[in-house]
Structure 1
Amino acid sequence: MSEQQRYKLHWITAIIEMLKTMKEAILPLVVLVFANGWKGGGTGPWYFEYLSFIIFGVLIISLFVSGIIKWKRFEYWFEDDELRIESGLFVKKKRYIPFDRIQSLDYTEGIFHRPFGLVKVKVETAGGSSMKKAEGELTAITKVAAERIKIELAEAKKRKKEKPVVEGEETLLADDSWEVPVEETVSLRKIFSMSTKDLLILATTSGGIGVILSGVAIFMSQFADLIPFEWMYEEISAFIKFGVLIVAIAVFLGLFGVWILSVGMTFLSHYNFTVSLDKEDIIITRGLLEKKRVTVPLKRIQSVVLIENPFRKVFGYASVKIHSAGGGVGESSRINLFPLVKRSEVETYLSEIFPELYLEEPSKKPTSKGRPYYYRIDFLWMLPVIGALIYFFFPYGLFSLTIIPVIVAYGIWQHRSAAYEIVDHQLIMRFRAFSLQTAYTMKKRIQSMEMKQSYFHRRKGVATILVNVKSGMGSYQATVQHMDVEDAEMILDWYEKGKRPDPFSFDEDEVEKGLR
């Protein structure tokens, strides 16, 4: 066999790899320079005065050399319907990825890619081995080279389809692989996009402020020795003396600044968020500085989940997530299909992508028999806590009694939110933790189903149903708690009838007919 042409990555790969390693080790590097620096007394050699900075410089040079080695020693090529990757200097790594196992190609254009017209390509397979790392990654290649991979993949599909089937020969393929015939590329059909107003509402209600504040707290805990807390305490104490109004204005301005930062982060990451559709895949693009393109094969989607956050519901908004099977990248398991969408328009958008789904709200609700179980356990374990607060902090501890109606009200809220329904070969389950979730799942996508019933459940005739569907390398669980046991058994019976029969089992009635 003639040697196949091998391809290299772009030289910017060396810089990107260096920065990636620096990002992962930024905390030790900062501690090295600012926290553990050598302080000479002026009597030793001059380099003792700057030893930490010299070590920092040596590390930067080492990282840059390492990036150059990774770039120079990385090659990829196409052979025997496989994408083959070879890398490493002292330890050579070879990875062969069959085209018939490739689930999707995801593209990212970062700030170092866009000036040179480059993209980063992540190769996802149907059975990726890691939740955080792609099966294959090409750090920086031209768009022409990225298109070449798509062409090789399409030609491999065509060859696979045209390959004659030998009688008695069995081929092991991924689930539903190569079901759709390869045709000419069709133009993408735009389904959904987010406006600037949607981005602002998303940023305000997404919890980004909490992420920023927690990041500040982590930074302060790591560099507590360098922060002059005593000076800060004295300055804050003096500032408080200016009056409540001035302090309130300062706090408001601080929170407003954090909110602006959160809006900016959300705007950059979700800018021009667009969902498009072709014959086989959902294409999601987003980002301003770093433009990302994620491809989600329709045949790999296991469940569609509508999430209604109480705060967003006030403005008439909701979000939709989808769970995809397989893949090596964590983002591919639980994907934001619509991060923020008008609740009244959800069915319209989803029906364009999933015309086979029944998208009405479930109509069957748990009866009043199961209502006490929604708050009974929380009520029981809180009683000792309330008793201790009353005993040690009397009379102020009596205020802890207000927890009881809150627990009961929360349980009743969960009970009223729960619902379920079976429509042909589809199961709809609605449940609530804090946000209301409605899961739409086809029977053939359900991995397992379980009915749980405690002693107290059996006395009242109620049970809990748990449904598991594939999500990345893990699973997503939908549940309706404390429903009537007759309804739970009906759902189990519906699922059991859809299972493939055991080839080693037999039907006693059929056996009797045969004997007659």
Structure 2
Amino acid sequence: MTPLVRAWVLVLAAIWTLGREMLSGNGVRLPPLTWVTIAGAILLVVLIGFAYLDWRATSFIVDQDELRIETGVLTKTSERIRFDRIQSVDITEPFAARLLGLAEISIDVGAEGGHKLRYLSRTRSAAVRDYLLARAHGVRPAEVTQHVRTGVLDDRGSSDEVLVTVPPQRLLLGALLSHEMVLFTVPLVIAISLLLTVDARGAALVAENPWLLLGLLLPALGGLWSFVVRRVIGQWNYAFLRSGHGLKVTRGLTSLTSQSVPRHRIQSLRIAQPLWWRGLGLYRLDMAVLGNHGLAHDEDQSGTTSILLPIGTRAEAELVLHTIWPGLRLDAIEVRRSPDRARWLQPLSHGWTGWGFDDSVLLTRAGWLTRVQMVVPHARVQSLAVEQGPLRRRFGLATVAVHTTQLLAASAARNISPDIARTLLFDEASRARTARLAGLLTEPPH
């Protein structure tokens, strides 16, 4: 089935073309053997043939200390992955593969890049994933068992502990109250209102033919519907689980993604609360993981993303944070505000913007339309910089930027006094040299 999964778009195109030709005219007839039809058929057969040979030449071998992936038809390639280098193992089931009960395994080994294994059966993929994660944690199972129970609509094993789930109605609410929705609907409503009020002929024309207004709104409503549906489908059946030796996030309706969450490789956490979510007490959590891409802007994106919790209550957000970093105590961190003169540079967010730290992390807060808290462990800070542009120099202010190996967004203590900025710069550099991540990964004594 692997060649069909990898070339399913071409197969559907060929079926559509031949079917339309056969059904054209009066009754069903054989398509004419034109050069275009012959060339298309030959091309399709060649592509599927090469995909089949590529699948036949792909194998994986579990050795004593490593996993080997052998690929290549004309040129053989052997990728060797040491078990102690494995950081996370994710499973993705694209739409076509999911229909056939197949899945793709993505193995992340950090700075060395990632490796993919396409395609295995759903149960076989879960078994290989669990085996590799166990070996990465130093456990030596006897073999890769194929009897791993996993669901068709999710990736929840019989021994997995579900910590947080997000119902579809909350995903729908988050999409409807997103900034993208507001920025799209408000100009549309204003434009239609001006069209009907400024020009009397427009209002009269709509009054005579109400279907005209529906014709104008239909394309916009279609775009809004597509946006909302993709957001909901992308995070459908979201679950944050404790599974075996680690944590994982599963989500998706048409394409299912099961993403490992390596706690020791998380560089920073982002806690966001858009303006329209504040009254409802809802939050979004993102994580920056070494080797992964930056901040995900689309909740419908499949595969590995930065999204840790798409939308959740305060209690759910705190549970996820406590599970990721048991030693984190955000409420105990004293937040220091910007001086009053900084209000000229941040008039809407002045009451929220601030920074603070404890023995384990540096906390920065900024934003008005979306309130953002960035949490960076001292042990993950790579460099710092004091920034002071013309306006900040005019008001006697400076910003301290914090850099990690993977940035979600600008993490900085904004608009503070220059002397405090210099003190923070050197003190944080000192803490970064001596800090260890163990304090965050373990529960502190009561």
TM-score bin (small chain): 0.7 to 0.9
State the alpha-carbon separation in 2 of the partners of residues 359 and 277 from structure 1.
Answer: 22
- Aligned residue in 2 for 1:266: 231
Alignment of 1:224-263 (within 5 A): 243=208, 245-263=210-228
C-alpha contact (below 8 Å) 1:323/1:333 kept by paired residues: no
Alpha-carbon shift at residue 286 of structure 1 (Å): 1.0
- Aligned residue in 2 for 1:14: 3
Alpha-carbon shift at residue 70 of structure 1 (Å): 1.3
Name the stretch that deviates more: 461-470 or 480-489.
480-489
Alpha-carbon shift at residue 110 of structure 1 (Å): 3.9
C-alpha contact (below 8 Å) 2:62/2:68 kept by paired residues: yes
- Aligned residue in 2 for 1:321: 286
State the alpha-carbon separation in 1 of the partners of residues 264 and 10 from structure 2.
Answer: 36
C-alpha contact (below 8 Å) 1:284/1:295 kept by paired residues: yes
1:61-104 CA distance string (max 9 Å, x none) = 22211211111111111224111112121222221111111111
- Aligned residue in 2 for 1:488: 421
Helix, strand or coil: the match of 1:277? Answer: strand
Structure 1 pair 205/125, CA: closer, same or farther in 2 (3 Å)? farther
State the alpha-carbon separation in 2 of the partners of residues 67 and 207 from structure 1.
Answer: 43
1:273-295 CA distance string (max 9 Å, x none) = 00112475321011223222100
State the alpha-carbon separation in 2 of the partners of residues 120 and 426 from structure 1.
Answer: 36
State the alpha-carbon separation in 2 of the partners of residues 212 and 66 from structure 1.
Answer: 45
State the alpha-carbon separation in 2 of the partners of residues 106 and 274 from structure 1.
Answer: 15
Of all paired residues, the percent bearing the same amino acid is: 21
State the alpha-carbon separation in 2 of the partners of residues 475 and 349 from structure 1.
Answer: 18
Q: Residue 373 of structure 2 is aligned with which of 419, 423, 438?
A: 438
C-alpha contact (below 8 Å) 2:249/2:260 kept by paired residues: yes
State the alpha-carbon separation in 1 of the partners of residues 357 and 93 from structure 2.
Answer: 43
C-alpha contact (below 8 Å) 1:186/1:278 kept by paired residues: no
Helix, strand or coil: the match of 1:470? Answer: coil
1:387-411 CA distance string (max 9 Å, x none) = xxxxxxxxxxxxxxxxxxxxxxxx4
- Aligned residue in 1 for 2:46: 62
C-alpha contact (below 8 Å) 1:84/1:94 kept by paired residues: yes
C-alpha contact (below 8 Å) 2:283/2:312 kept by paired residues: yes
Structure 1 pair 19/441, CA: closer, same or farther in 2 (3 Å)? same
Quick check: 1:151 aligned with 2:135?
A: no
C-alpha contact (below 8 Å) 1:468/1:475 kept by paired residues: no
TM-score, normalising length from structure 2? 0.72
Alpha-carbon shift at residue 465 of structure 1 (Å): 1.0
Query: Which letter does structure 1 place at the counterpart of 2:253?
Result: L
1:29-81 CA distance string (max 9 Å, x none) = 9xxx9xxxxxxxxxxxxx99955444433332222112111111111112241
Query: Which letter does structure 1 place at the counterpart of 2:110?
Result: A
Query: Which letter does structure 1 place at the counterpart of 2:306?
Result: I
- Aligned residue in 1 for 2:311: 340
Quick check: 1:125 aligned with 2:125?
A: no
C-alpha contact (below 8 Å) 1:463/1:485 kept by paired residues: yes
Alpha-carbon shift at residue 243 of structure 1 (Å): 4.8
1:309-360 CA distance string (max 9 Å, x none) = 2233354322111111135899788521111112465334423442211223
State the alpha-carbon separation in 2 of the partners of residues 329 and 305 from structure 1.
Answer: 11
Alignment of 1:37-56 (within 5 A): 50-56=34-40
Instruction: Name stretches of at least 5 consecutive residues in structure 1 with no aligned partner.
Output: 1-11, 34-46, 161-184, 214-236, 375-410, 502-516
- Aligned residue in 1 for 2:259: 294
C-alpha contact (below 8 Å) 1:370/1:484 kept by paired residues: no
Instruction: Name stretches of at least 5 consecutive residues in structure 2 with no aligned partner.
Output: 18-30, 141-156, 186-201, 297-302, 435-446
C-alpha contact (below 8 Å) 1:192/1:275 kept by paired residues: yes
C-alpha contact (below 8 Å) 1:14/1:64 kept by paired residues: yes
- Aligned residue in 1 for 2:356: 421
C-alpha contact (below 8 Å) 2:178/2:276 kept by paired residues: no
Helix, strand or coil: the match of 2:306? Answer: strand
TM-score, normalising length from structure 1? 0.63
State the alpha-carbon separation in 1 of the partners of residues 342 and 245 from structure 2.
Answer: 43
1:394-447 CA distance string (max 9 Å, x none) = xxxxxxxxxxxxxxxxx4114343111122332110112742211112111112
- Aligned residue in 2 for 1:195: 167
Pairs aligned (count): 379
Query: Which letter does structure 2 place at the counterpart of 1:154?
Result: A
C-alpha contact (below 8 Å) 1:123/1:135 kept by paired residues: yes
Quick check: 1:448 aligned with 2:387?
A: no
C-alpha contact (below 8 Å) 1:307/1:319 kept by paired residues: yes
- Aligned residue in 1 for 2:199: none
Alpha-carbon shift at residue 186 of structure 1 (Å): 10
State the alpha-carbon separation in 2 of the partners of residues 434 and 249 from structure 1.
Answer: 32
C-alpha contact (below 8 Å) 1:282/1:296 kept by paired residues: yes
Quick check: 1:355 aligned with 2:326?
A: yes
Alpha-carbon shift at residue 491 of structure 1 (Å): 1.8
State the alpha-carbon separation in 1 of the partners of residues 175 and 278 from structure 2.
Answer: 15
Name the stretch that deviates more: 433-442 or 291-300.
433-442
Helix, strand or coil: the match of 1:495? Answer: helix
C-alpha contact (below 8 Å) 1:309/1:435 kept by paired residues: yes
- Aligned residue in 1 for 2:412: 479
Query: Which letter does structure 2 place at the counterpart of 1:13?
Result: T
Alignment of 1:16-165 (within 5 A): 16-19=5-8, 50-114=34-98, 117-129=101-113, 134-141=114-121, 143-144=123-124, 146-148=126-128, 150-151=130-131, 154-155=134-135, 157-158=137-138
C-alpha contact (below 8 Å) 2:88/2:133 kept by paired residues: no
1:357-394 CA distance string (max 9 Å, x none) = 1223863211123333x2xxxxxxxxxxxxxxxxxxxx
Q: Residue 271 of structure 2 is aligned with which of 288, 294, 306?
A: 306
State the alpha-carbon separation in 2 of the partners of residues 211 and 121 from structure 1.
Answer: 38
Structure 1 pair 208/13, CA: closer, same or farther in 2 (3 Å)? farther
Alpha-carbon shift at residue 460 of structure 1 (Å): 4.1
State the alpha-carbon separation in 1 of the partners of residues 371 and 209 from structure 2.
Answer: 39
Alpha-carbon shift at residue 149 of structure 1 (Å): 5.6
Quick check: 1:204 aligned with 2:176?
A: yes
State the alpha-carbon separation in 1 of the partners of residues 175 and 167 from structure 2.
Answer: 12
Structure 1 pair 359/55, CA: closer, same or farther in 2 (3 Å)? farther
Helix, strand or coil: the match of 2:337? Answer: coil
